[in-house]
């Protein structure tokens, strides 16, 4: 199974400007992410950026870099541009690894790529893990996902879904899952995505994966085979992760 990893890396960030270049124990964050991606089974790892500073740093540590437009509305649009620039075939599997996840386990990169390859009915694959606290269930920054018996997503939401009517049910927490933001796509579906208008639910929730569901594209969802640490959004996150190296 051959797949390509693309790591979007934007310099602009409202909460942490210049995030990809922030130092983590002597190396820029984007290098830490790239190193983890290179440990996966990917045949190619590409950093996608719209900033020349990131490009210069990434090329200095040996990464392949693809420059993209600055005006993309979503990370999926940026992935599609890179896939087009690289002339990837329609059936090529592409994995989107976020540029702010220096602790991403390589095994989950392989897992999501393999899941998509094995599920011909799906155009996208992603991962989830169980939610085990009321705080996480209610947190709108933690996206929840509900999947059906066959492992395909029914819906993604920032709201607590499924709604636990009876908090005393012993199995209540087993019904709630956090969506882990790693995706595998078939290039053909990326090409279609950029041609579709924003879906109503996508606009309301600010979740671009809902555009795929709105247009009838099946999203395969599986439990991550290992714990996936969260990404870095704030200075506090950066300090906490730096202590692990």
pLDDT tens across the length of the chain (245 residues): 689 999 999 887 767 788 899 999 999 999 999 999 999 999 999 999 999 999 999 999 999 999 998 777 777 888 999 999 999 999 999 999 999 999 999 999 999 999 999 999 999 999 999 988 888 888 898 999 999 999 999 999 999 998 877 666 555 555 789 999 999 999 999 999 999 999 999 999 999 999 999 999 999 999 999 999 888 888 888 888 888 88
Minimal CA–CA distance to 231: which of 181, 178, 179, 175?
181
Please name every residue paired with 25 in a beta bridge, in sequence order, or none if there are none: none
- E strand or H helix that includes residue 184: strand 177-186
Count CA atoms within 13 Å of residue 54 on its CB side.
28
The two three-digit tokens of residue 10, written as one number: 């934007």
Which SS3 state, helix, strand or coil, does residue 198 take?
coil
Predicted local confidence at residue 170, as pLDDT: 55
How far is C-alpha 191 from the chain's CA centre?
Answer: 18
Q: How far apart are CA 1 and CA 207, in angstroms?
A: 29
Tokens 């999501």, located at residue: 112
Residue 162, preceding peptide bond in cis (omega within 30° of 0): yes
pLDDT value of position 164: 73
Residue-level pLDDT at 14: 67
- In sequence order, the β-bridge partners of residue 223 are 128
> Residue 57 CB: number of other CB atoms within 10 A?
20
Residue 70 confidence (pLDDT): 79
Q: Which residues pair with 129 in a beta bridge?
A: 178
Q: Is 13 helix (H, G, I), strand (E, B) or coil?
A: coil
Please report how many Cα atoms fall inside a 13 Å half-sphere around the Cα of residue 155, on the Cβ side: 11
Q: Phi-psi region for residue 216, left (φ > 0), alpha (ψ -120 to 50) or beta?
A: left
User: Check: CATH 1.20.200.10 for 3-239?
Assistant: no
Residue ranges per structural domain of the chain:
3-239
What integer pLDDT is reported at residue 117 of this predicted model? 95
User: What is the rounded (10 degree) CA torsion for 116, 122, 124, 130?
Assistant: -80
Predicted pLDDT of residue 10: 85
Residue 58, helix vs strand vs coil: helix
- The DSSP H or E segment spanning 119 is none
Task: Judge contact between 222 and 127, C-beta under 8 A.
Answer: yes
Cβ contact 36:103 at 8 Å: yes
């Amino acid at each position: 199974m051959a797949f390509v990893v693309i790591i979007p890396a934007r310099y602009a960030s409202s909460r942490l400007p210049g995030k990809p270049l922030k130092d983590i124990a002597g190396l820029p964050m984007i290098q830490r992410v790239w190193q983890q991606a290179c440990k996966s089974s990917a045949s190619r790892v590409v950093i996608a950026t719209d900033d020349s500073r990131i490009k210069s740093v990434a090329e200095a540590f040996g990464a392949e870099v693809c420059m993209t437009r600055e005006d993309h509305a979503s990370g999926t649009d940026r992935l599609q541009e890179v896939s087009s620039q690289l002339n990837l075939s329609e059936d090529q599997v592409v994995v989107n690894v976020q540029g702010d996840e220096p602790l991403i386990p390589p095994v989950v990169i392989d897992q999501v790529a393999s899941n998509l390859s094995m599920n011909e009915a799906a155009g996208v694959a992603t991962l989830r893990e169980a939610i085990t606290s009321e705080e996480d269930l209610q947190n709108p920054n933690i996206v929840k996902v509900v999947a059906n018996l066959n492992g395909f997503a029914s819906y993604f939401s920032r709201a607590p879904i499924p709604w636990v009517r009876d908090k005393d049910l012993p199995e209540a927490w087993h019904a709630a899952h956090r969506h882990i933001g790693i995706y595998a796509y078939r290039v053909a579906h990326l090409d279609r995505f950029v041609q579709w208008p924003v879906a109503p639910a996508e606009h309301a929730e600010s979740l671009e994966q809902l555009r795929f569901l709105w247009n009838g594209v099946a999203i395969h969802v599986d439990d991550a085979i290992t714990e996936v640490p969260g990404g870095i959004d704030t200075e506090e996150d950066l300090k906490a992760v730096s202590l692990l190296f």
